[in-house]
A and B are shown apart, each in its own frame.
Chain A
């Protein structure tokens, strides 16, 4: 029983990590209707920049600040050079453009900082929480819990930002209808710059957390792909959905690997999340929190 709780808890916390990446997708999709396939490479770029600065002896807060600025600038550049020229194209074109962007960012990251893997330390060890493991014989990593905390704070901040502030309202207006938003005087370019800056910030948080957990290496971009099943479960436009989706995917993936894995030779983690998402799509295409899409002729 203890082992089961451990597995579930571990899965949930791993899921929180997925949610962190998914949040970046949601922020951009919510505000511009663009599915940013390159979010994973943004995470990679942020993590790599941060860890490279740290390794050159920079102070952690300075490194964070500089990386954040870099992400914001990168986001604005992307919005201006890639998205703006493609403003009225069908979604599939935008999607393919962000796939191209992925390659550009991955190449750029490694060109700038090299391609060796890096470890990342934040001062919170990846060891079991003592009183839990001694009293109840359950091992849950300190760092994973810290990750959950960080995610919680981030979600709260984002939720407040979009629901309560004037900028949040403008973001939602822009996501609904660009032309109408322009017509009521919302400055589209500023809004999108803000959106991409926020997405860059989220990517930085996700990148740092993932970097500590798994090291900063090229494989990070593939883990970022796992955010897709999370988004399918949670809906592409819901912040809460990103969290719930992440938790479900994380937990079910871990459970499947531990309990089903031995029967089929292991390695289920590479595809289980996607198959779960696929089955989910067949039943409820718009996700748990999404809105039904109606085609009119």
Chain B
């Protein structure tokens, strides 16, 4: 009843091509943005910003990057964390060595460096596909991490490769508190998500999906293989690079190369699968799920501890977490391979008819 489209006619193609063609969707999105930008900063506490919202946003961005490469363009990548690492360390170096550079400029540099690395390690995709390409991205993951550890210049010759992200200043105002970092992250992520959405529904997005679905046919109708695949790697790595820089500056603070291991790459892959491959919304849903789930588990185990009077070790909780994540991946792949995003779509379709059955 609330969600009916009746009466909303599209009389131009422009109207039809909107991101949110249904008016109720537009209102909902606006409300969400108001809540995110205004309500949350006024009412939230530090724990929420620092431990939940900011990492959720950063990982959503990284998942978005992976989605562009794997979900839309079909090139399986296990090197996401490596691109994030490049972004983090290069943004740090930009702040260190380029005087008076604005923080967003440093982030962009981090992203561009990650994009270059992405293109280099994406070159094999012109010859190899599928699982073999995944192994090539593994090479990237291990090599980049080794290089960051070994190349002293990257960590300003600190003894263990650890860097400390500099203070952020925007137009002279320091952004020290978790609230400020949250807002900065939110702004950057929102803008980049919009750009990604625009890109994926234009010719570039269609070219990516064509390469994913049947690359031989795509090249026969004129879509350039090399340019398309490398562009996918470049854009995806750029997004992951910026995510890495945000990870370092707005969340971790002190960054060691070990923060960007294969384990993180897998976690982001899980976010993409659970949220929905090939969906911008899915990136956010998957990241939300995997960020919130460990907290939920912790809460459950604490209440179990209290209720049963026993102690549940941290190891048990984290192993159970791993098992449930793995189990969920398998579950989603069997039941709904298109993830939470598709489930959300189905819910919306049902809502459009509610309260009528069909």
A residues apposed to B, CB below 8 Å: 35, 81-82, 85-86, 89, 91-93, 95-97, 99-108, 110-111, 114-115, 222, 225, 228-229, 232, 264-265, 267-268, 270-271, 274-275, 277-278, 281-282, 285, 295, 297
Contact = CB atoms under 8 A, between A and B. Distances in A.
Interface stretch (B26-34, B96-104, B138-146, B281-289): B138-146
A95 B150 contact: no
Given A111-B319, A278-B124, 8 more contacts: A92-B74, A97-B334, A99-B266, A99-B329, A103-B322, A104-B330, A267-B146, A278-B139
B323 A96 contact: no
B127 A100 contact: no
Given A111-B320, A115-B315, A270-B142, A281 B136 contact: yes
Interface in B315-336: 315-316, 319-323, 325-330, 333-334
Nearest to B149: A267
B51 interface: no
B232 interface: no
A95 B330 CA distance: 10
Contacts of B326: 100-105, 107
Contacts of B149: 267
A282 to B, nearest CB: 6
A271 B319 contact: no
B319 A85 contact: no
Contacts of A270: 142, 145-146
B128 interface: yes
Nearest to A112: B319
Contacts of A100: 270, 273, 325-330, 333
Pairs A-B, 8 closest by C-beta atoms: A100-B329, A103-B326, A107-B322, A274-B139, A104-B326, A107-B323, A271-B142, A107-B319
Given A104-B327, A228-B138, A277-B139, A91 B130 contact: yes
Given A85-B334, A96-B273, A278-B135, A104 B217 contact: no
B76 interface: yes
B300 to A, nearest CB: 16
B128 A89 contact: no
Interface residues on B, range: 35 or more
B333 A277 contact: no
Contacts of B136: 274, 277-278, 281
Given A103-B325, A275-B143, A229 B334 contact: no
A114 B315 contact: yes
B322 A106 contact: yes
B292 interface: no
B235 interface: no
Given A270-B142, A281-B136, A111 B316 contact: yes
Contact of A232 (B135, B143, B269, B323): B135
Given A96-B273, A110-B315, A278-B124, A104 B333 contact: no
A145 B348 CA distance: 64
Most buried by A among B139, B270, B321: B139
A172 to B, nearest CB: 21
Contacts of B145: 270
Contacts of B142: 270-271, 274
Nearest to B136: A278
B128 A282 contact: yes
Interface in B126-161: 127-128, 130-132, 134-136, 138-139, 142-143, 145-146, 149-150
B124 A265 contact: no
Contact of B131 (A81, A91, A106, A222): A91
Contacts of B2: none
Contacts of A274: 135-136, 138-139, 142-143
Contacts of A96: 269, 273, 329, 333
Contacts of B270: 100
A282 B127 contact: yes
Given A103-B326, A228-B135, A270-B142, A97 B124 contact: no
A103 B265 CA distance: 13
Residue of A99, A232, A268, A278 most packed against chain B (CB within 10 A):
A278
Contacts of B330: 81-82, 97, 100-101, 104
Nearest to A283: B127
A129 to B, nearest CB: 33
A136 B215 CA distance: 57
Contacts of A297: 216-217, 220
B294 interface: no
Given A86-B334, A297-B220, A104 B322 contact: yes
B127 A95 contact: no
29 contacts: A85-B334, A89-B333, A89-B337, A91-B131, A100-B328, A104-B322, A104-B327, A104-B330, A108-B319, A110-B315, A110-B319, A115-B315, A115-B319, A232-B132, A265-B150, A267-B149, A270-B146, A274-B135, A274-B138, A274-B142, A275-B143, A277-B136, A277-B139, A278-B135, A281-B135, A282-B128, A285-B128, A295-B216, A297-B217
Nearest to A276: B139
Contacts of B135: 228-229, 232, 274, 277-278, 281
A290 to B, nearest CB: 10
A222 B265 CA distance: 14
Contacts of B76: 92, 95
A63 to B, nearest CB: 23
Given A97-B330, A271-B146, A35 B323 contact: no
A103 B293 CA distance: 15
A225 B146 CA distance: 17
